[in-house]
Structure 1
Amino acid sequence: FYDLIYFLLYTAVPLYSLKMQCHETFLITCIHTVFFFRKNPLWGAANTGLARWLPAEYEDEENQPKGWNTGRQYSGFQLPLVREVSNEIMCGSSMAVLEDSAYSQMLVDWGQYIDHDISFTPQSSSRSTFAEGRDCLHTCSNADPCFPMQTPKEGKLSSNKSCLPFFRSSPACINVQTDMRPAGQRQQMNSVTSFIDASTVYGPSADLEKTLRNLSSSEGLLAVNSEYSDDGRPYLPFVSVQPSACLQEPGSEPAARVECFTAGDSRVNEILPLSVLHTLWVRESAKGTSDGHFTEIITMRDYVPKIMGREAFDEYLGPYAGYNDSVNPSVSNVFATAAFRFGHVTISPRLRRLNESFQEHQRFSSLSLHQTFFSPWRLVREGGLDPVLRGLLGRPAALQNQEHLMTEELKERLLVLNIPETLDLAALNLQRGRDHGLPGYNDWRAFCGFDRAETRSDLVELVGSGVLVEKIMDVYGHPNNIDVWLGGLLERPVSGARTGPLFACLIGKQMKTLREGDRFWWEHPGVFSPKQRQELQTHSLSRVICDNSGVTEVPLDPFRLGSYPEDFVFCGNVPSMDLEAWRDVKNVKYYYNLK
């Protein structure tokens, strides 16, 4: 029965009136569902192509990434190697980490969490070249799906290899055709739903959702860990295939393994704060109140205006104008591959773990960032969620520093499972943009209605540093060659924002499509009653933390940096939703309002 309802809801079968008699033990007397033909039913669906806002630029016009063919010139210059860009521009003379005076580390980690809710571009499943079967980990030649990141002669790796491995993104089998998708061009896939819908909790597919459920219980709740708990609160369950690839506590016995966690998104173990946020929302779901509408509200109300600035938010989004069935909500290639990766330069090199007084924890010291990669054992063995949560709430995010853009923890010590050497996140971002055929920085400025940067003086005005512009020009040769991720990253932030004008534009346009192209958006009339919408707005990430951890004092806005104790409140003073707004006094009924 539920499979039938799921099929009807999510494939939009055009039945104008459906009445089904349900089994009385479900406490449902009937379901009346009205369906209409849906325009573009694949928009925003999982396992479809990322949207193209500008045509892709491939060296053979169909498939070959920028930089694939040695000697190919752009505006009279060869594109620089991505490792050369990383070495020359991402790391400057200063090693100082600037601290954000306004925002906490939680702002950064929420950005990663919500990014994983709306986009995931899978890499090729093949580890060897298609034509000759060479291992991509041991070749420095371009041969699909290998697109290795060559190392400049003066920057040889400690392994004496001349490249770092890179696997191309899988091509999309299902493309939502638009005018920006010339026939035959390679497109990349988004394997999760584009909507802000808590797919990180429940998964982007029916099959995955079933594996995440506790099927031994009639309550239908998500499965939790059966081996360990966090002071009585559940952890995420472990993956079914064991032993897993996650790191283990040094010196621990094989019988004491802590396996990788499993969740609605496979990237849950990448870094400890991400595992913590996943766990919070699974715990919240046990109360029957966790869904995508909360993440919609927290993201659009509390997060997005801070990163792009209130002025830009009002310009690109403005007040909610209702659902528009002509708006394609699919995540765009440039957003997923460039613009929303701005946060990589705001990640602190240290993860702070704090005690109840928001001071350094006596037992569980703060960690270097690389110590938090794929290490769920640190949650299970070292104090659970609470010390990490306090660190996210009580310590500042890193502020972008043009003299040292990315921490060495990410540039030289990034860990990816099943790759034996550490990687360079800056180089990966640049290579991924070229793999996807993203047009350059100037083309995207034109797309957003901004003037192109034609000269060094134009770049100085946008970047603010003549020294940095000289480095850019020395490496790229011409402004048209600048990769969009780097160019957008280097722009001076707009007023009250953490992004420059280009990324504010691209993020703003994407968020508008996600909001107005979603017919289940929480503000859309018919989805909730006015009273329910009013109650939903009282909910907050701080309330979720209070309800699902041992943290007892929080800032009312968890993204804004405050001083302890003056800017923190006891959890009893954090507003809660009144669920009476959802009570049905007649009986337990389910309504699907699909206006």
Structure 2
Amino acid sequence: MQWGQFLDHDFVHTPEASGVENGETVPITCCEDGVTEVSPNDPGNDCRPIDVSQDPLSTAQGRRCMRFVRSLVASRECLVGPREQMNQVTAYIDGSGIYSSSDTAALELRTHEGGLLDSSANPLPREGARPFLPREECEHSQDSVCYIAGDERVNEQPALTSMHTLWLRVHQMTASKLAAINPHWDDETLYQEARRIVGALLQQISYNEFLPVVIGDSQVRRFNLHSAPGHDNTYDSTVDASIANSFATAAFRFGHTLVKDIFQGSRGREVPLVGSFDDPHALREPDTGPSDLLAGEAGVDAEPIDAFLVTSLSHLLFAQQGDALGFDLMALNIQRGRDHGLPAYTTWRQACGLSVPFTFGALAGIMPSSYVDLFASTYSRVEDIDLFPAGLAETPAPGSLLGPTFSCLLAQQFSNAKHGDRYWYQNPNQPHPFTPEQLASLGRVTLAGIMCSHLRLTHLQPHVFLAVSYIETASSECFECGVSAAITTDRFARFHLTTTTTTRLIVDTLLQIASHHHLLS
């Protein structure tokens, strides 16, 4: 789930509409007290609260509505037509969550020395000198420290903040190695080259490790998503890599159902999700730092993919410890789909070339009968069912975590993101492409290797998107970070990687870059 959210924030961010007070842009006041639905600062009538007057949990707290503000309208050349929403970040997998999509913000995140990003001292003695993200005061918790990254959602929950911390360290190490072997390079060159390597690693890991687990090898092959070694000359200038609304507002939110109520730290320490929204205080405490939380997340099973969310998301979203009630993420996701005008679930089945159910009974071959009963009792017609809950309810496709509809929508979007990106890391026809040797070196780096190199870990399974229990739970299926550990089963021998090896692979990449002409010249 952590990689999915980190990746999502790299290429999707739809802001909500803003209000105006005294000529200044401010958040719209909308059902802030759970009762008042009319907003005093909403010139566009964008406050559309969700009616919860029939919900016993809400009424018990004296709450009749849930805050919901429509997404910001994107500008269009034509004044008439459907409402379109804005994507505030680049629609490519390019590390914008690390570096920002804004030139101004990107400059503010840099030290302007040695190609490095700004950082802060590590507060955990056991972490050594590994850097932390730069700090700022928390907006929602004045007694805690929050962090700054290229995406403003960095503090949304502590495991996400940990992932940002990991990739800050990857950039810093890469820039430092480049500086050591290229002492004549200036700050700008070092920064841009390190950023380019980081972006390539994000693409390579997403397509070679993450996607096959989520949508299955069949869809990966069908849409040519696997990043084989060497150059890939499949860039198509006619492909629109913009983010589809169905992907951003429904399909790629599948990760919400994977979330657990508790983050697992080390030595038995746990961090409740409630109390950690926009408050990453746990990262400064022993046994729940970035290394502990990311290793913990890699070592436990996620919640199963289904049409239900854990209590921390379905009743207590953005709540703090002691709060009786928060927001309901399932309700917000469904309402957001309606706000964006997403067609119904059956429309997307048809668009994906799948069978289209015209009766509730026809859903029985698509999803478990318990879901069929729930949808039949909630919706008047099959054609009215919202995409998000129905997509989650589908029986997973063979080899996939997702049902056929969401697998289709993800595969199409990731195909567009790859084949519509002129700067895709394997494209030989972009300005200053990577060499085959550099691509081979990049392709040998895994997320497990990166975690071993930049976190305080001793053991980690070689495929971090598969829980240890999934790969037969034998200790031989894990490798020791920094120690050469033999793999006793041939099945996993190809995953054998140590910290030393991982570091050498990245250094190999840097040396290969240094040995060729100046890539920015």
For residues 318 and 286 of structure 1, do their structure 2 counterparts lie closer, same or farther at Cα, with a shift above 3 Å needed? closer
Identity of aligned residues (%): 30
Distance in 2 between residues matched to 1:548 and 1:194, nearest whole Å: 28
SS of the residue corresponding to residue 324 of structure 1 reads coil
For residues 162 and 493 of structure 1, do their structure 2 counterparts lie closer, same or farther at Cα, with a shift above 3 Å needed? same
Amino acid at match of 1:220: G
For residues 336 and 585 of structure 1, do their structure 2 counterparts lie closer, same or farther at Cα, with a shift above 3 Å needed? closer
SS of the residue corresponding to residue 135 of structure 2 reads coil
Residue 443 of structure 2: which of 531, 534, 537 is its match?
Answer: 537
Residue 291 of structure 1: which of 185, 198, 201 is its match?
Answer: 198
The answer for the alignment partner of 1:137 in structure 2 is 32
Distance in 2 between residues matched to 1:443 and 1:182, nearest whole Å: 27
Amino acid at match of 2:414: M
For residues 459 and 452 of structure 1, do their structure 2 counterparts lie closer, same or farther at Cα, with a shift above 3 Å needed? same
Distance in 2 between residues matched to 1:247 and 1:327, nearest whole Å: 44
The answer for the alignment partner of 1:437 in structure 2 is 341
Deviation at 1:382, TM superposition (A): 3.3
Deviation at 1:316, TM superposition (A): 3.0
For residues 570 and 454 of structure 1, do their structure 2 counterparts lie closer, same or farther at Cα, with a shift above 3 Å needed? same
Residue 484 of structure 1: which of 373, 387, 395 is its match?
Answer: 387
Aligned residue pairs, count: 453
Deviation at 1:489, TM superposition (A): 1.0
Distance in 1 between residues matched to 2:316 and 2:441, nearest whole Å: 44
The answer for the alignment partner of 1:579 in structure 2 is 507
**Larger RCO of the pair (alpha carbons < 8 Å, separation 6+):** 1
The answer for the alignment partner of 2:275 in structure 1 is 371
Amino acid at match of 1:276: S
User: Do 1:322 and 1:523's aligned partners in 2 also have CA atoms closer than 8 Å?
Assistant: no
Residue 4 of structure 2: which of 111, 115, 118 is its match?
Answer: 111
Amino acid at match of 1:528: F
Q: Comparing both structures, which one devotes a greater share of its residues to helix?
A: 2
Residue 184 of structure 1: which of 77, 81, 85 is its match?
Answer: 81
1:125-524 mapped onto 2 (5 Å cutoff): 125-126=18-19, 135-138=30-33, 139-140=36-37, 144-155=45-56, 156-173=58-75, 175=76, 183-215=80-112, 218-226=113-121, 228=123, 230-239=127-136, 242=137, 244-247=138-141, 257-287=143-173, 288=175, 289=194, 291-317=198-224, 322-355=234-267, 360=268, 365-383=269-287, 384-401=289-306, 405-415=308-318, 422-465=326-369, 467-524=370-427
Amino acid at match of 1:110: W
Amino acid at match of 2:507: L
The answer for the alignment partner of 1:551 in structure 2 is 457
For residues 545 and 162 of structure 1, do their structure 2 counterparts lie closer, same or farther at Cα, with a shift above 3 Å needed? same
Distance in 2 between residues matched to 1:153 and 1:582, nearest whole Å: 61
Deviation at 1:590, TM superposition (A): 2.8
Distance in 1 between residues matched to 2:198 and 2:291, nearest whole Å: 23
Amino acid at match of 1:261: Y
User: Do 1:141 and 1:147's aligned partners in 2 also have CA atoms closer than 8 Å?
Assistant: no
Deviation at 1:548, TM superposition (A): 1.1
User: Do 1:197 and 1:292's aligned partners in 2 also have CA atoms closer than 8 Å?
Assistant: yes
Deviation at 1:471, TM superposition (A): 1.8
Deviation at 1:578, TM superposition (A): 5.3
1:74-113 mapped onto 2 (5 Å cutoff): 108-113=1-6
For residues 227 and 546 of structure 1, do their structure 2 counterparts lie closer, same or farther at Cα, with a shift above 3 Å needed? closer
Distance in 2 between residues matched to 1:302 and 1:331, nearest whole Å: 21
SS of the residue corresponding to residue 147 of structure 2 reads coil
Distance in 2 between residues matched to 1:313 and 1:333, nearest whole Å: 21
SS of the residue corresponding to residue 302 of structure 2 reads strand
Q: TM-score, normalised by structure 1?
A: 0.71
User: Do 1:415 and 1:421's aligned partners in 2 also have CA atoms closer than 8 Å?
Assistant: no
CA shift digits 1:95-120 (9 cap, x unpaired): xxxxxxxxxxxxx1111110111100
For residues 165 and 529 of structure 1, do their structure 2 counterparts lie closer, same or farther at Cα, with a shift above 3 Å needed? same
For residues 585 and 541 of structure 1, do their structure 2 counterparts lie closer, same or farther at Cα, with a shift above 3 Å needed? closer
SS of the residue corresponding to residue 311 of structure 1 reads helix
Query: Which runs of structure 1 show a deviation greater than 4 angstroms over 4 or more consecutive aligned residues?
Result: 133-136, 318-321, 584-589
CA shift digits 1:469-504 (9 cap, x unpaired): 122111111011001111111111000111100000
Distance in 1 between residues matched to 2:144 and 2:133, nearest whole Å: 11
Amino acid at match of 2:391: G
Distance in 1 between residues matched to 2:446 and 2:513, nearest whole Å: 27
Deviation at 1:446, TM superposition (A): 1.2
Deviation at 1:354, TM superposition (A): 2.1
The answer for the alignment partner of 2:486 in structure 1 is none
CA shift digits 1:374-420 (9 cap, x unpaired): 22221113342222122112111111356xx2111110011079x99
The farther-off stretch of 146-155 and 220-229 is: 220-229
For residues 470 and 580 of structure 1, do their structure 2 counterparts lie closer, same or farther at Cα, with a shift above 3 Å needed? closer
Residue 590 of structure 1: which of 508, 518, 521 is its match?
Answer: 518
RMSD (Å), alpha carbons: 2.7
